[in-house]
Copies of this chain bind each other. A is one copy, B any other.
């Protein structure tokens, strides 16, 4: 079997992620950095970014977008607040399982714990089993751990089948997500300026002057040079109601003349610009 290409780091390198062991983010960590890293579970996205900023870990992995739920806006905001750089991206197929204590059956389940996004991705399952009440929890794998530790009767969790193995729990049903086209895009992050991997994808953030045609003008720098945009996302600017920061992903490498020129052109007229990274897909 050919080994999958990963970001080259020494064995035992610490990589932070949000969630508990068995979380989809852990799968993303291994897809990005390989199997020989030490993963560092963190309780929140804030604490993941803090761990990188305070150099507690050299790298972190966060989800940025899900193909069904859309962008993880909190992480866009955190990328803007912290001096981080994007090193790489990867895509994880999200397959949700219903997981409970070893003695449980589908009929015994009354409450189903999981992360709000995971709950929202299994609406058809909840319509089929109206007796089951969804309960919001901070993490998918964390809800498996919670049910195991508290021996919670009548409860189940929605999480990866891997997390059932980790906590010695039973998979009551696999693949309960509404849509099989359920993928999450994760980014590998490092403190800004530490390393500079390059690749076919470039992420930027910029603000616009509050004037007619400003976004059109900004997109023209790419369109005129045939640099393709794969994603654009707007986020409010705090303290400036109804003004926005724009996050854009380009299918281009900053080393290419077209991309480099486009970014220089954009910087000529936007009031704020930042390069988040130029990287490849792992």
Contact = CB atoms under 8 A, between A and B. Distances in A.
Nearest to A211: B228
Interface in A151-181: 179, 181
A238 B70 contact: no
Contact of A226 (B213, B215, B222, B244): B213
B239 A215 contact: no
A215 B229 contact: yes
Contacts of A232: 215, 232, 234
A234 B233 contact: yes
Contact of A181 (B69, B215, B241): B241
B67 A241 contact: yes
Interface residues of A, number: 37
Contacts of A236: 65-70
Given A69-B236, A236-B67, A236-B68, A183 B241 contact: yes
Contacts of A215: 219, 229, 232
Contact of A242 (B67, B238, B239): B67
A235 B70 contact: yes
Interface in A216-236: 216-217, 219-220, 222-223, 226-236
A73 interface: yes
22 contacts: A66-B236, A67-B236, A67-B242, A68-B236, A68-B238, A70-B236, A179-B238, A179-B239, A181-B240, A181-B241, A212-B229, A213-B223, A213-B226, A213-B228, A216-B216, A216-B220, A216-B223, A216-B229, A217-B223, A219-B219, A232-B234, A233-B234
Interface of A: 65-70, 73, 136, 179, 181, 183, 212-213, 215-217, 219-220, 222-223, 226-236, 238-242, 244
Which 9 pairs of residues, A with B, have the shortest CB-CB distance?
A: A67-B241, A216-B223, A212-B228, A216-B219, A213-B223, A70-B236, A181-B241, A183-B241, A70-B73
